[in-house]
Amino acid sequence: MNQQNKFVSGLAALCAVVWVLAAIHPADRQAWILENLLVVLFVATLALAYRRLQLSNASYIFIALFVILHTIGAHYTYAKMPIGLWAKDFFGFSRNHADRVAHFGFGFFLAFPVRELLLRFGGIRRGWSFWLPPAIILAISGFFEILESIVAEIIAPGKGVEWLGGQGDEWDAQNDILSALLGSLVMMAGIALTSRKKSMR
Amino acid sequence: MNRSRARFGDNRFLQIALVCYALFWVVLAIHPVDRSDWFLENLLVFATASVLIPTYRKFQLSNLSYALILLFLALHAIGAHYTYAKVPIGFWLRDFLHLQRNHFDRVIHFAFGFLLVYPMRELLRRSAGARETWAAWLAVAALAALSSFFEILEGIIAQIVRPDLGIAYLGTQGDIWDAQKDMTAAFAGAILATLLLLSAQLHRRNPTRA
C-alpha cells in the first residue's frame, strides 16, 4: 500500500511539474482555461476518490500519460502544436492533426483504467470487458463533442465548427469520436493478445 | 428460470408482436418516398434481426424488452418510409410549434435512447454480469456509444454516396450541429428512461416512502 502511495504521488508530482510549465505563457489563455477545466475536474475526482477507489499502478501510468499529452496540447491550443504543424508540412495534410492524436490517446490510455474499473467494481465478465470500455469511450467522446458545441455557441456564436479545433473539417466531430474509438480498440486488442499469452504459459 | 428456456413456439405474446410488426413493415415498404434511402435506413433493421434471431435460442430477453425493440423499429419504419425529413406528422409539428425544421428524426433519436435502455440494461445484467446499479448506468453509456457510433457511420456513408454534398446529404436540413443534437436527444432519452425505472424500483421497494 505504502509502495503504491509513493508511486502514485511521484506520478502526480510529475504531472504537476509539466502542468505548471505548460501554464506559463500558453498560446491562447482563454482556450487554455477551457481545455484545462475538464482535466482539473477529472484529476480532482481521482484524488478525492483515492482513499476508497485505488486503481493499479498501470492504470495510473496511463492516466498520467494522457494528462501530460493533453497538458502539452492545451499549451499550444492543439491547432498550433509544433509537431503537428511539422507533420502537416511533411505529409502534406490539410490540417494540424495534433488534436486527433490526442483524441486517439484519450481512447487508448483511458480504456485501460475503465476496463479495470468494470472488472473490479462492476462485476463485468471477461468477454464483455473488452467491448464495454470502447463503448464508454465512445459515450464520453460523444458527450464531449456535445459540450464543445455548446461552449462554441456561447463563446463564438455563428462561427461554429471553425472556432473549435475544426480547422475547416465539417466532419470534425465524427472524426474526433472515431479517433477515440480506434485508440480504445487498439488498447483492448493489446490487452487481449498479451493476456492470452500469459494464460498459455 | 423458466423464462430463459421458453421456446418461441410457446411464446404467444412474441408471436403476435412479431406478426404485427411484420405487417406494419410490409405496408410501409410499399412505395416509399425514396427507395434507395429506404434501403439504407432499413440496414439497421436487417442488422438488428441478424443479431436477435440467431441468438434467440441461446439467450432470450424478456417479452417487455422485445416489445420495446419492436416498438422502436416500428417508429423507425415510419421514418424510413417518408425519408425522415418528409414525415407528415413532423411537418404538422413544425407548423404547430413554429419550428425551423421537421423534427421527426430528433423524436426518433430520443425514442432510441428512451425505448432501448431497458433491453440494454437487461442484456448487461444477465449476459455481462453487471451489478444492478452499474447495469443501469452502463446501459445509458452503451446507448450513448451506439448513438455516437451511428453518427460516425452516417458520416462515412454520406462521404461515400455523395462526397460533393457533405453534411447536407444527411438529414441535417442545414444544421451544422446536427450530429451533436441527435446524440443529445438519444442521451436525454436514455437518462430519462433510467431515472423513471430507478424511481419505479425505489417505489416498489419502499411503497410507504413517496
Helical (H) or strand (E) element with B197: helix B178-205
Q: What is the ipTM of this complex?
A: 0.86
Residue B77 burial by Cβ neighbours in a 10 Å radius (0-12, 13-18, 19+)? buried
Q: Give the residue from B62, A80, A123 showing the smallest Cα distance to A88.
A: A80
With bands split at pLDDT 50, 70 and 90, how would you rate the model's confidence at A200?
Answer: very low
- A164 vs A22 pLDDT, higher one: A22
Kindly report, residue by residue over B145-173, the tens digit of the pLDDT.
999 999 999 888 888 877 776 666 666 66
Rg of the Cα trace of chain B?
Answer: 19
Look up the pTM and report it.
Answer: 0.88
- The three cell numbers of residue B106 are 430528433
CB contact under 8 A, A124 and B130: yes
pLDDT of residue A137 exceeding 90: yes
Whose grid coordinates read 509502495? A3
Sign of torsion over alpha carbons B144, B146, B147, B149: positive
Residues in chain B with CB shorter than 8 Å from the CB of A143 are: 144, 183, 187
Q: Collect all residues with Cβ–Cβ distance below 8 Å to B196 and sequence separation of at least 6.
A: none
pLDDT, chain A, mean: 87
- Would you state the pLDDT for residue A198? 52
Residues in chain A with CB shorter than 8 Å from the CB of B125 are: none
Residue A91 burial by Cβ neighbours in a 10 Å radius (0-12, 13-18, 19+)? exposed
Residues B140 and B191 sit within 8 Å (Cβ to Cβ): yes
Three-point CA angle B48, B81, B36, nearest 5°: 80
With bands split at pLDDT 50, 70 and 90, how would you rate the model's confidence at A29?
Answer: confident
With bands split at pLDDT 50, 70 and 90, how would you rate the model's confidence at B1?
Answer: very low
Question: How far is B175 from B164, CA to CA, in rounded Å?
Answer: 17
Q: Give the residue from A70, A96, A92 showing the smallest Cα distance to A165.
A: A96
Q: Give the residue from B21, B182, B46 showing the smallest Cα distance to B104.
A: B182
Report for A85-89, A193-197, B26-30, B33-37: range of highest mean pLDDT: B26-30
pLDDT of residue A1 exceeding 80: no
Residues 97-136 of chain B with CB under 8 A from chain A are 124, 127-131, 134
pLDDT, chain B, mean: 88
pLDDT of residue A114 exceeding 70: yes
Q: Collect all residues with Cβ–Cβ distance below 8 Å to B2 and sequence separation of at least 6.
A: none
Question: How far is B124 from B135, CA to CA, in rounded Å?
Answer: 6
- Please give, rounded to a whole number of angstroms, the shortest distance from the CA of A153 to a CA of chain B: 10
Question: How far is A146 from B187, CA to CA, in rounded Å?
Answer: 10
CB contact under 8 A, A122 and B134: yes
- The three cell numbers of residue B159 are 462521404
With bands split at pLDDT 50, 70 and 90, how would you rate the model's confidence at A201?
Answer: very low
User: In the predicted model, what is the mean pLDDT of residues B113-131?
Assistant: 95
Rg of the Cα trace of chain A?
Answer: 18
A90-94, A181-185, B49-53, range with the lowest pLDDT: A90-94
CB contact under 8 A, A122 and B131: yes
A182–chain B Cβ distance below 8 A for any pair: no
Residues B65 and B75 sit within 8 Å (Cβ to Cβ): no
Kindly report, residue by residue over B72-107, the tens digit of the pLDDT.
999 999 999 988 878 888 888 888 888 878 888 899
With bands split at pLDDT 50, 70 and 90, how would you rate the model's confidence at B10?
Answer: confident
Closest residue, chain B, to A160 (C-alpha): B176
User: In the predicted model, what is the mean pLDDT of residues B183-204?
Assistant: 93
CB contact under 8 A, B131 and A135: no
Which of A121, A125, A141 shows the shortest C-beta gap to B148? A141
Kindly report, residue by residue over A77-106, the tens digit of the pLDDT.
777 788 888 888 888 787 888 888 999 999
pLDDT of residue B2 exceeding 60: no
Kindly report, residue by residue over A43-74, the tens digit of the pLDDT.
999 999 888 888 999 999 999 999 999 999 88
SS3 state at B115: helix
With bands split at pLDDT 50, 70 and 90, how would you rate the model's confidence at A113?
Answer: very high
A53–chain B Cβ distance below 8 A for any pair: no
- Which residue type does B190 have? A
Closest residue, chain B, to A129 (C-alpha): B128
- Which residue type does B27 have? V
With bands split at pLDDT 50, 70 and 90, how would you rate the model's confidence at A164?
Answer: low
Helical (H) or strand (E) element with B193: helix B178-205
CB contact under 8 A, A135 and B187: no
Residues B127 and B59 sit within 8 Å (Cβ to Cβ): yes
User: In the predicted model, what is the mean pLDDT of residues B9-30?
Assistant: 93
From residue B140, how far is each of A10, A132, A153, B2, B134 by CA, in Å? 36, 12, 26, 28, 10
**Number of cross-chain residue pairs from A and B with Cβ atoms under 8 Å apart:** 92
